[in-house]
Amino acid sequence: MWALLVATACSSGSVQGAGPPSGAAAVSSTPAPPASRPEATVRVDVAIEARTTDPATAGFATVVKETLTDPRGWQQAGFAVTFTDDAPYRIVLAEGPEVDRLCRPYDVGGRFSCQNGPVVALNADRWRSASPKWTGDLETYRRMLVNHEVGHLLGQHHPAVHCPQPGRPAPVMAQQSSELNGCTPNPWPLPWEIACAARHDEPLAPGYEDHPRSTCGPA
């Protein structure tokens, strides 16, 4: 998230993203299908770092790579994520106190995750067991968490309406860890989120922002 929730940490651990205004048209009921990429591709080099050693977090790097190279993800918006140890951006899995430090001045309270400048910091306890409000399975939660926080790294914000239409998939940039509000769990950007990101009108790796808003939403 640009960083999770600003004063109320991104429950999914997050960055902030473009979202639909009140009264906006209903979003698609299914996650975005693979689509042709925009001609201009933005390359985003990331390093993956697990600062944990327990079996429950052992497959972290694999899940991150699979999620960020999946055709249902942000590559539809013209982003190409590559992985290298000396990359300018880092995706870090760590325990709560270290995530708190990496996220400051965002307050994630030892529970949430964030994106703060070049760092995406994911809370290891969330990775192990999701959140009490989550109604989906753990694998789906992990992919949602990665796409949400990396979405912030790519310049996307929390939507103004976190569940535009109950019973349909939540926007991936909604704070699904804490408030599904009647929407169904969803790990992938919705078509309108892809369209907003494909404009490439937001900077990568934003620093601290106090509840930023985007004018982009569902058509």
Show Cβ contacts of residue 1 under 8 Å, excluding neighbours closer than 6 positions: 10, 12, 13, 14, 15, 16, 17, 113, 114, 115, 148, 149, 151, 152, 158, 173
Number of domains in the chain: 1
B/e letters for 79-93, b = 16+ CB within 10 Å, e = fewer, are bebeeeeebebbbbb
Report the Cα 2 to chain-centroid distance in Å. Answer: 9
Token code pair at residue 202 = 């937001």
Residue type, 123: N
Q: Are 119 and 90 in contact (CB under 8 A)?
A: yes
Average pLDDT over residues 187-197: 97
Q: What pLDDT was estimated at residue 40?
A: 65
In a domain, 10, yes or no: no
Checking if the pLDDT of 179 tops 60, the result is yes
**Which alpha helices (H) appear in the chain, and where do they start and end?**
60-68, 96-103, 124-129, 138-153, 191-197
In a domain, 69, yes or no: yes
pLDDT range class, residue 206, cuts 50, 70, 90: very high
**For residue 60, what are the domain limits?**
42-197
pLDDT range class, residue 6, cuts 50, 70, 90: very low
In a domain, 127, yes or no: yes
Residue-wise pLDDT for 83-140, tens only, equals 999 999 999 999 999 999 999 999 999 999 999 999 999 999 999 999 999 999 999 9
Checking if the pLDDT of 214 tops 90, the result is no
Q: What pLDDT was estimated at residue 39?
A: 56
Q: What pLDDT was estimated at residue 217?
A: 82
In a domain, 212, yes or no: no
Average pLDDT over residues 52-67: 97
Q: What pLDDT was estimated at residue 211?
A: 78
In a domain, 35, yes or no: no
In a domain, 61, yes or no: yes
Residue-wise pLDDT for 126-165, tens only, equals 999 999 999 999 999 999 999 999 999 999 999 988 898 9
In a domain, 138, yes or no: yes
Residues 219 and 212: their CA atoms lie apart, in Å, by 20
In a domain, 123, yes or no: yes
pLDDT range class, residue 176, cuts 50, 70, 90: very high
Checking if the pLDDT of 17 tops 70, the result is no
